[in-house]
Amino acid sequence: MRVRLWGAILAPALSLALCTTAALATPPQRLAEPVPLERLFDNRAISQPSDPASADFDGAGNSLSTRDLDAAGWTPGRVLTLDAARLRWPRTAAGRPDNLRADGQTVRLSGRGDAVSLLVAATGGTVSGTGTVRYRDGSRSTYRLTAPDWRTGPLSTKAVALPHINTPGGQRAERARLYAVSVPVVRGREVAAVVLPRDPGPGADLHVFAVAVRDNGAGWTGSWGASTGGYAKAGPWGGRTLRLVVHSGAGGPRVRVRLANTFAAAPVDFGAASVAVQGAGGGAGAARTPVPLTFGGQRGTRVPAGAETYSDPLRLRVPAGRNLLVSLYLPGTVTTAPMHGRSEQVSYVSAPGSGDRTGDTGAAAYPGTLTAWPFLTGVEVADGPGTVVALGDSITDGQGSTAGANRRWPDVLARRFQAQHALPRYGVVNSGIAGNRVVTDRYPGDGVSADVSGVSAQHRLERDVLARPSVRTVVLFEGVNDVRTGTPAHEVVAGLRSLARRAHERGLRVVAATIAPCGGFPDCTAAVEERRTAVNAALRARGAVFDAVLDFDAVLRDPRHPQRLLPAYDSGDHLHPGDAGMRALGESVHLRALVPGGR
């Protein structure tokens, strides 16, 4: 059965939020000469706790603690990879100028990419403003940027939270927040400068600590991915090696991995890492000797709180559709970790005190098991055409399918892309999180929690979709958890449309999927069914918000009882499809609907 496609097909090169000037020509007035950001610093945000008077971030004598920043791994001059952008924390010492207050300054940049990323915070309340990106060819585009307040902004979208604020009266135990935000650019054009927004007015300031062009993995394709759902208790692991089992979608001649310390309060050290194809017998055994990964030429790396890192490109052919073993040696004691909580896959842990076993071919050193994916969020291969991202909840995450069999519907979709040659053979990245919602956060975005159902799709779009390598298309398949917990249908629809608009700003194709039935699940009441059908009716309505709509509801429902799953597709809990239902979803999608410009 093929999914019916609803809605107009867009050519979503750019939305109104990325407004290129008429004729893309240099305006007649003389433009300000671009200046490196550091030369424009005019504010002191960081002080020693013993000398709070040396900085005044907000005009009231308050500031960030250099001790807290050091403890988070945000040391002077450190390059922080945040949402795939490399942003350098200011090199300056405490009490010296370390940020600028935005007021129309022109900051020199260079490079091509999909976004300009900025490390920011506002004082005096959340601040929004409009600025300009200037290109080498003389053209310009405008953007709108919002910087949350450093003391009251949402924890769910912060890059890092620090436990104290230095005040004139001493240090206060209060969360300080810093944010990484990005604004769209015209792909393919070389950026020359970014003109910052004007001063928002008395009492409020937009502070910029770092800025860079994000290349978003040009030349790389997502082969496998997982989204961090929270920060949870783990291990304890110390002097032990994790051997994580993941399934490749796309293949390629070179590989790199993405390690994340999302939501963390402290840095984490990786002493060594390796990658291998899993052996024919499965388990923790490798087909051949694992190949070491390096990070900036070194065997190990430290990842600051809230940041991520990529391994150096490794010349190793990754076959499509095979299980891989990514081994991570943790030399220090780890008791908490960023976690993808439901892997539907068994991975392995070496024995206590066993040390670095990343080079082991055999499985003997790995007696322990785990059913989550800590730290690892991506495996990427070179020379592919790009990535499709499935943003979803437990159905996308694979709950209800056979564990270890790779029968999630995105797995089916990935195999179909690799089996054909008429269209680009995209990689498919699974950004599903069990329990996730469109509108509200399950995990609050900060602190250790047993809930690893993630921040909302609104709050994780940047990290889990836009920052994926060479992303071309996003499939939005969420909403059942919202309607089950009382969120009005119009709010779910508005949330999905907001996701679509933001993705369109970055030139992505956006495909939405209707919500599957859940009748028979304990909390799927008549009121839930009413909200579900209202969301689906809005998705099916013709309009220009989505490039296409996949009617997953029609694929999975029982024609005689449309509020329920077809029994052959039901895993048994009446909410999650089993293997047959997952296969039906993956096979129902017209591949051309996921290709930019396709119908």
Residue 369 is part of a domain; what is its CATH number? 2.60.120
Do residues 306 and 72 touch, judged by C-beta distance below 8 A? yes
Confidence of residue 10 (pLDDT cuts 50, 70, 90): very low
Share the mean pLDDT of the chain: 94
Q: What is the pLDDT of residue 1?
A: 40
One domain, residues 90 and 123: yes
Q: What is the pLDDT of residue 572?
A: 97
Residue 222 within a domain? no
For residue 12, pLDDT over 90 is answered with no
Q: What is the pLDDT of residue 31?
A: 67
* Proportion of the chain above pLDDT 70, given as a percent: 95
Confidence of residue 599 (pLDDT cuts 50, 70, 90): low
Farthest CA pair distance, the chain: 73
Over residues 78-123, the pLDDT tens digits come to 999 999 999 999 999 999 999 999 999 999 999 999 999 999 999 9
Please report, for residues 476, 489, 519, 535, 596, the alpha-carbon distance to residue 484 in angstroms, rounded to integers and kept in the order given: 18, 11, 11, 12, 33
Residue 258 within a domain? yes
Cβ neighbourhood burial of 304 (10 Å; 0-12, 13-18, 19+): buried
The domain boundary, picked from 166, 181, 214, lies at: 214
Q: What is the pLDDT of residue 32?
A: 80
One domain, residues 279 and 310: yes
What average pLDDT does range 526-537 have in this prediction?
Answer: 98
Residue 226 within a domain? no
The domain boundary, picked from 376, 395, 417, lies at: 376
What is the pairing mode between strands 64-65 and 46-47? parallel
For residue 11, pLDDT over 60 is answered with no
Least Cα distance to 167 among 268, 297, 56, 6 occurs for: 56
Least Cα distance to 69 among 82, 78, 56 occurs for: 78
One domain, residues 336 and 398: no
One domain, residues 367 and 393: no
Cα angle, residue 353 at apex, residues 348 and 359 outer, rounded to 5° = 55
Over residues 333-355, the pLDDT tens digits come to 999 999 999 999 999 999 999 99
How many C-beta neighbours within 10 Å does residue 526 have?
Answer: 8
Over residues 37-71, the pLDDT tens digits come to 999 999 999 999 999 999 999 999 999 999 999 99
Residue 220 within a domain? no
One domain, residues 406 and 547: yes
Over residues 477-518, the pLDDT tens digits come to 999 999 999 999 999 999 999 999 999 999 999 999 999 999
Q: What is the pLDDT of residue 309?
A: 98
Q: What is the pLDDT of residue 544?
A: 77
Q: Which residues contact 411 (CB under 8 A, 6 or more apart)?
A: 247, 249, 398, 428, 430, 582, 586
Give the type of residue at 569. Y
Q: Which long-range contacts (CB under 8 A, 24 or more apart) does 72-76 make?
A: 72/160, 72/162, 72/265, 72/266, 72/267, 72/304, 72/305, 72/306, 73/266, 73/267, 73/302, 73/303, 73/304, 73/305, 73/307, 74/160, 74/304, 74/305
Residue 23 within a domain? no
Backbone angles phi, psi at 62, to 5 degrees: -95, 155
What average pLDDT does range 437-456 have in this prediction?
Answer: 98
Please report, for residues 247, 258, 262, 329, 355, the alpha-carbon distance to residue 272 in angstroms, rounded to integers and kept in the order given: 21, 14, 20, 5, 10
Token pair, residue 92, equals: 């300056």
One domain, residues 293 and 345: yes
The CA-to-CA distance between both ends of the chain, in Å, stands at: 17
How far from the centroid of its chain's Cα atoms is residue 344's Cα?
20
Cα separation of 55 and 39, whole Å? 18
One domain, residues 462 and 554: yes
One domain, residues 6 and 41: no
Cα separation of 455 and 477, whole Å? 16
Q: What is the pLDDT of residue 239?
A: 96
For residue 174, pLDDT over 60 is answered with yes
Q: What is the pLDDT of residue 216?
A: 77
Q: What is the pLDDT of residue 30?
A: 54
One domain, residues 393 and 420: yes
Give the type of residue at 160. V
Token pair, residue 507, equals: 């030139």
Do residues 434 and 399 touch, judged by C-beta distance below 8 A? yes
Residue 148 within a domain? yes
What average pLDDT does range 131-158 have in this prediction?
Answer: 97
Confidence of residue 542 (pLDDT cuts 50, 70, 90): confident
3-class secondary-structure state, position 370: strand
Residue 87 within a domain? yes
Over residues 62-74, the pLDDT tens digits come to 999 999 999 999 9
One domain, residues 492 and 425: yes
CA dihedral in degrees (434, 371, 250, 218; nearest 10)? 70
Token pair 């398949």 in the structure block, residue = 477
Residue 104 within a domain? yes
**Domain CATH number, residue 527:** 3.40.50.1110
User: 489-505 and 526-540 are packed helices; what angle lies between their axes, rounded to 10 degrees?
Assistant: 40
Q: Which range marks the domain in which residue 197 is found?
A: 31-214
Confidence of residue 231 (pLDDT cuts 50, 70, 90): very high
Do residues 592 and 3 touch, judged by C-beta distance below 8 A? no
Q: How many domains, in total, are found in the chain?
A: 3
Cα separation of 549 and 316, whole Å? 38
Give the type of residue at 519. G
One domain, residues 57 and 173: yes
Q: Which residues contact 533 (CB under 8 A, 6 or more apart)?
A: none
Cβ neighbourhood burial of 376 (10 Å; 0-12, 13-18, 19+): buried
Q: Between 188 and 152, name the one with better pLDDT.
A: 152
Helix H, strand E, coil C: the string for 495-527 is HHHHHHHHHHHCCCEEEEECCCCCCCCCCCCHH
Least Cα distance to 338 among 229, 179, 462 occurs for: 229
Give the type of residue at 172. R
For residue 21, pLDDT over 50 is answered with no
The domain boundary, picked from 214, 249, 272, lies at: 214
* HSE value, Cβ hemisphere, 13 Å, CA-based, for 548: 24
Token pair, residue 143, equals: 């953007």
Q: What is the pLDDT of residue 218?
A: 86
Confidence of residue 6 (pLDDT cuts 50, 70, 90): very low
Cα separation of 355 and 238, whole Å? 8
One domain, residues 49 and 172: yes
Token pair 């999180």 in the structure block, residue = 433
Backbone angles phi, psi at 411, to 5 degrees: -65, -45
Answer whether the bond into residue 236 is a cis peptide, omega within 30°: yes
